[in-house]
Amino acid sequence: MRIAAILFIVSGISLAFNIDEADYSIVHNPSSPTDDIVLTTVDTWILTGAKTPRGIDCSDTASELFITDYSADRVFIFDYSGNSLGNIDVPAGLDDVGGVCSGSDYLLINEMGSDTDIWEYQSAGWNPAISNPSTDPMGIDLDADGNLWEIESSSNILYRFNSSGTVLNQWTLSEVPASASAMACTIFPVSGTNVVMVGGLTWSDFYFYEWDGSYLTYLGSHPVPVSCNKSYGAAWCQQRNTIFWIYKTGGDFGVCEFQCFITGVALERNTWGGIKAEY
């Protein structure tokens, strides 16, 4: 989706988006990580331009990353190496943009503050698409069937809902740290099935769940691939068969691209079919 070609611009309050100003430390995983999950770093780069990044997603059709920034009220666009390609202003009054996901020719964003809609961006601009079932949303992604997956920051509830906003499933994830501030949520293919990965602002690990179309099964956890003091959004990239993740070390925000291997099988691009079907 070449959003940059459409709009190229050179350009209430919750714990989830003000937490950078507080002194929080990484919460270590209470259980041992599984040996069946291996994360291998491909590249890292410093995120420039964005002040307070939160959500991230990869284009389905172009070499572009979309990164939300709640204080700049924008969605920034980068290439896979961190070069700026432009940005898109979010709707007026939508001051606390959080998660982002992309389809074939559109973007969806959610709101961490008082707005209760999921907004859609196409060439004509922004419009509220559906009412968000989560009251404190963060990471969001689309699966191959066009259903949305979203993590609720304050409760660790994982939602699966359709394009009308009807909740199909919801799970309170008991395996993750009990503290609030879940951040990342992405779904991707592994050896003929689907895996959901979630992460949190101060969680030392990513947590992995298999979704076989009927049941959500906990697979295990693995430490984040780069040492950091804050962890934000993450997104699987179909074009590169990798995951991009936002983190913070000291005063710098960074982006890490990494590969994920589960039970000895790398992510298989050809099993995903029509990922992120038309919304």
Q: What is the pLDDT of residue 82?
A: 97
Q: How many CB atoms lie within 10 A of CB 36?
A: 14
Q: What is the pLDDT of residue 266?
A: 46
Q: What is the pLDDT of residue 99?
A: 97
Residue whose tokens read 């799970």: 171
103 vs 230: which has the higher pLDDT: 230
Q: What is the pLDDT of residue 35?
A: 73
CATH architecture label of 3-9+51-271: 6 Propeller (2.120)
Structure confidence by residue, pLDDT tens digits, 70-99: 999 999 999 999 999 999 999 988 889 999
Q: How far apart are CA 195 and CA 74, in angstroms?
A: 29
Q: What is the largest CA-CA distance in the chain?
A: 49
Q: Would you call 53 helix, strand, or coil by DSSP? A: strand
Residue 26 — very low, low, confident or very high, per pLDDT cuts 50/70/90?
low
Q: Please report, rounded to a whole number, the percentage of residues in the chain having pLDDT higher than 90.
A: 72
| pLDDT above 50: residue 269 | no
Sequence letter at residue 48? T
Per-domain residue ranges of the chain: 3-9+51-271
| pLDDT above 50: residue 167 | yes
Average pLDDT over residues 171-194: 92
Residue whose tokens read 């964005």: 50
Q: What is the pLDDT of residue 33?
A: 59
Average pLDDT over residues 165-184: 93
